[in-house]
Structure 1
Amino acid sequence: MSTPAHIPAEPPARRPRLTVQSGGTVTDRLVEANRRYAAAFDDPGMDARPVLHVAVVACMDARLDLHAALGLELGDCHTIRNAGGVVTDDVIRSLTISQRALGTTSVMLVHHTGCGLEALTEDFRHELEDEVGQRPAWAVESFRDVDQDVRQSMQRVRTSPFLPHIDDVRGFVFDVTTGLLREIDPAG
């Protein structure tokens, strides 16, 4: 079971940073952490359908603790993350499955201040091609104006023929220094 959205989540307890043991890898540490987790795991008996019927699309940036920042609990939402939180064809694929097969009706887009995509350009693809001899099929989706990129992402969701639920699509910029969300007006 999940905590209802109207009950604010407690801030996460600070845990000591885990370090890689000598001779081990980061993945080894994560697998060991999973063993400890599984030892105390109690199947919550949840369905794959999110309790709040919402999908959150956000950047993969490690500074964004979405569940804590949005007061979400396990089972509340579908979380779709990628570089920049950009709405790509694969994000549309995930949202389509989320809406059509698993019952979500709302989409929340979360970009953030200081995003690494602001420092990249499409030249990154050319550099990869020079290095590996093959050009990636995907676009970098870099941007200079985070507000405008959120608007573009909202527009991509709202105009997708695959998504039946486009009335509750909202976009935000998360400030990594204050932790606050700022809503973006789709009209500009």
Structure 2
Amino acid sequence: MTTTPEPTDLDAFVYSRQPGYDETATRAAFAGAVPLRTIVIFCYDPRAAAIPTQLAELWPDEIYPGDLILDDHGNKVGSTATIFPIVVAGGRATDALRSITIGHHLFGLQRVVVVHHTNCGTSSFTPRGLLEAYRTEEGIDLSNMYSSDSLAIGHLETSLSYDVNLLRRSPGIPASVEIIGMVFDIDRNEFTVLTPPGG
């Protein structure tokens, strides 16, 4: 039996719990408040933190980080940013799928860029090594939890191709969305496109 939780003061901050909530109208308002065009998936390595800013410099039609839009009361109601970052270990696409689906649903989406970088920490171990370490050190078997192809980067071109194809096959991302794969050279601050749109 499902029960509805009692209202709390925090419910005032949940759109779907407001009186007269209209999901279609709320979705349209979100799409109008944020001009999202591109999602960039990259690693949480601090050396990679500038990736969305540097992509915005390469692509003049993109804005990042953008400016906040305030209403008459000073509330933050939108942004001018067109790039949304998804920051995950190794920049692996499997961790980003849900966020991409939600981003497209709320804001519309034209492009997803998967960026793997040189000298990434996820290239310092193998899937087998990680699984064995968890089994030995933690007594936990993760072998059925993750695809081994998404756990580590053993070869930059192969891992990037795997991630781009994972996104292109996902039913949660419309076929109209471009999927691009890039490698970012940490020391040179340079991008190399390995998988162009449709490539």
TM-score tier (shorter): 0.5 to 0.7
Moved over 6 A (4+): none
Matches within 5 A, 1:38-57: 50-57=34-41
2:51 pairs with one of 38, 63, 66: 66
CA contact (8 A) 1:99 1:165 kept: no
Whole-angstrom distance in 1 between the partners of 2:89 and 2:65: 23
Q: CA deviation at 1:168?
A: 1.1
Matches within 5 A, 1:157-172: 157-172=167-182
Whole-angstrom distance in 1 between the partners of 2:176 and 2:163: 12
Q: CA deviation at 1:53?
A: 1.2
| Amino acid across the alignment from 1:78 | F
Which position in structure 2 is the counterpart of 1:81? 87
Q: CA deviation at 1:165?
A: 4.3
| Amino acid across the alignment from 1:104 | L
CA contact (8 A) 1:58 1:80 kept: yes
CA contact (8 A) 2:40 2:52 kept: no
CA contact (8 A) 1:61 1:83 kept: yes
| Amino acid across the alignment from 1:58 | F
CA contact (8 A) 1:50 1:77 kept: no
78-87 or 136-145, which deviates more: 136-145
Whole-angstrom distance in 2 between the partners of 1:114 and 1:50: 34
Which position in structure 1 is the counterpart of 2:113? 108
Matches within 5 A, 1:118-157: 118-122=123-127, 123-136=129-142, 137-138=145-146, 139=148, 141-157=151-167
**Runs of 5+ in structure 1 lacking a partner?**
1-46
Q: Which has the higher helix share?
A: 2
For residue 93 of structure 2, give the secondary structure of its aligned residue in structure 1. Answer: coil
Whole-angstrom distance in 2 between the partners of 1:110 and 1:168: 14
Whole-angstrom distance in 2 between the partners of 1:130 and 1:170: 38
Whole-angstrom distance in 2 between the partners of 1:77 and 1:167: 14
CA displacement, residues 99-154 of structure 1 (integer Å, 9 cap, x when unaligned): 12221221011111111111111221221122122223235621221122111111
Task: Flag the 1:125–1:166 CA change in 2: closer, same or farther, 3 A.
Answer: farther
CA contact (8 A) 1:157 1:166 kept: no
**Runs of 5+ in structure 2 lacking a partner?**
1-29, 57-63, 67-80
CA contact (8 A) 1:120 1:142 kept: yes
| TM-score (ref. length: structure 1) | 0.67
* Largest Rg, 1 or 2: 2
Matches within 5 A, 1:27-42: none
| Amino acid across the alignment from 1:85 | G
CA contact (8 A) 1:60 1:83 kept: yes
Whole-angstrom distance in 1 between the partners of 2:190 and 2:35: 24
Identity of aligned residues (%): 27
Give the paired residue count. Answer: 142
Task: Flag the 1:50–1:111 CA change in 2: closer, same or farther, 3 A.
Answer: farther
| Amino acid across the alignment from 1:160 | S
Task: Flag the 1:96–1:108 CA change in 2: closer, same or farther, 3 A.
Answer: same
| TM-score (ref. length: structure 2) | 0.63
1:93 aligns with 2:103: no
